Amino acid sequence: MTREIAARISEARLWDRHMAMARHGATAAGGVNRQALSPEDVAAQSELIQWGAALGLVAATDPAGNLFLRLEGTQPEEAPVLTGSHLDSQPTGGKFDGVYGVLAAFEAVESLVEAGVRPRRPIEIVAWMNEEGSRFAPGMMGSEAFAGLRSLDEVMAVQDADGISVAEALASTRAALPRLPEAALRRPIAAYVEAHIEQAPLLEREAKTIGVVTGIQGKRTFRVEVVGQDSHAGTTPLAERKDALLAATAIVQRLHALCAAPGPQVMFTVGRLVVEPNAPSVVAGRATFSIDLRHPDQPTLERLGDAIAVTCEDARGPCSVRITELVNAASLEFPAAMRDRIRRIAGDLGLPWLNLPSLAGHDARQLHSIAPSGMIFIPCRGGVSHNEAEWAEPSHLAAGARVLAELIAELASSVE
């Protein structure tokens, strides 16, 4: 039976749907600007719901604004298999980030239907609300609320730059869409699978079509405030200064050396430095900088993150230093059984695959906390993403959908 469903995946149909979705929020430069809960997002959701209706899928939404299209199983009371991603984009986003996971899921379900397969478990295609965090920060709000990792009240209260809250934007979205039945948050899920473009160049470089995603690299972010003393640039002897900028740069150098030591997988970035009073003839009294630290391996991430305070202390000179940790998202590993399935199916389909971690965050992080989850990557040109030039080959989009189709068919027929 494997391959029979995959064989029905239509490369042309999948491609056409990408181009159709890309019209909602199309930018002059060929990209997409589709902010969460915007009129463009509504138009995209609306089109997806129509496609679903034509296929006999039942649409529903939950209190967090996540959208579901359900293919009923022979055992409707069983927990569903969920598959999808997001429809929102960055302001200068591309045609594939997020959308691909939703459309690959759709194509997979359509192939199942065409193959005459009635899955035991229901299968639901999902479009998570506000994955990007571009209009409403932070991202992945919809999946966080769904997984019970963030309260609905907290999500609803977040405002965009114009002071419009998620609650208000969601109300206008609901008013503009057909009336949909409400699905519950935190309901039991049998499994979650997300297909996505890689957003990095590894698959392309290795000439592999399918990325078997081992896990999602974690991230720790910090704010470091170095406090010295404002003083006269012409009269204060060097030896007596408490120069916060000098201390901050020394600390950054030391942190960089610390993080570079374990090898190329460590991502260490100081992307923001604010100097006060930031005047040419005043010794800086205060320097505040950001740290963004990432590594796919949790023990390494933990060790490096925990060494930051000591390193700052060692390099601070005559200044004082205060460190605040802002984000601590652990690196996670998807269940081996899920990765084995993806590898086996890719092998059966004759698709070259590669094990690789996801360097970017995805909704699968949230779902991993409540259900066996996994991700399938496909190459994107030059690894370019969050960019209007983002590009994926039609044949690669179809290949990922083939693996996904066989995978969800398996998961929806499994008894555990």
| Burial grade of 172 (CB within 10 A; 0-12, 13-18, 19 or more) | middle
Which window, 94-102, 115-123, 289-297, 408-416, contacts Zn ion (CB under 5 A)? 94-102
Q: Which is nearer to Zn ion, 45 or 311 (CB)?
A: 45
> What residues contact 42, with CB distance under 8 A and at least 6 apart?
172, 173, 176, 177
| Range in contact with Zn ion (rule: CB under 5 A) among 92-100, 170-178, 227-235, 251-259 | 92-100
How many of the chain's residues bind Zn ion (CB under 5 A)? Answer: 2
Q: How far apart are CA 184 and CA 287, in angstroms?
A: 47
Query: Of all residues in this chain, which one has the CB nearest to Zn ion in the complex?
Result: 98
Point out which span in 93-101, 185-193, 240-248, 302-310 binds Zn ion (CB under 5 A).
Answer: 93-101
Closest distance to Zn ion from the beta carbon of 170 (Å): 20
What is the Cα–Cα distance from 81 to 406, expressed in whole angstroms?
Answer: 13
Q: Is 98 in the site for Zn ion (CB under 5 A)?
A: yes
User: Considering beta carbons, is residue 98 or 400 the nearer one to Zn ion?
Assistant: 98
- Residue 203 is given by DSSP the state H
Q: Which is nearer to Zn ion, 84 or 122 (CB)?
A: 84
> In the range 37-66, which residues lie near Zn ion by CB under 5 A?
none
How far, in Å, CA of 69 to CA of 128, rounded?
12
Minimum CB distance to Zn ion smaller for 97 or for 204: 97
Shortest Å, Cβ 365 to Zn ion? 11
Residues 6+ apart with CB under 8 A from 94: 31, 32, 384, 385, 386, 387, 388, 389, 390, 391
Only segment of 98-106, 163-171, 290-298, 337-345 that touches Zn ion (CB under 5 A): 98-106
Shortest separation between residue 131's beta carbon and Zn ion, angstroms: 6
Q: Do the beta carbons of residue 120 and residue 163 sit within 8 Å?
A: no
Strand boundaries in 137-285, DSSP class E: 191-197, 210-216, 218-227, 231-232, 267-269, 273-276, 282-283
Nearest distance in Å: CB 22, Zn ion: 15
Please state, in angstroms and rounded to a whole number, the distance separating the CA atoms of residues 329 and 359: 13
* Nearest CB to Zn ion, comparing residues 140 and 248: 140
- The burial class, CB within 10 Å (0-12 / 13-18 / 19+), for 149 is middle
Nearer to Zn ion, 245 or 380 (CB): 380
Which listed range, 91-99, 149-157, 184-192, 282-290, lies at the site for Zn ion (CB under 5 A)?
91-99
Nearer to Zn ion, 94 or 119 (CB): 94
Q: Does 97 bind Zn ion (CB under 5 A)?
A: yes
At closest approach, how far in Å is the CB of 4 from Zn ion?
Answer: 30
How many CB atoms within 10 Å of residue 415?
Answer: 7
> Which is closer to Zn ion, CB of 117 or CB of 126?
126
Cα–Cα distance list, 244 to 221, 282, 309, 324 (Å): 21, 11, 16, 17
Q: Tell me the closest approach of the beta carbon of residue 82 to Zn ion, in angstroms.
A: 16
Report the interface residues with Zn ion, using CB under 5 A: 97-98
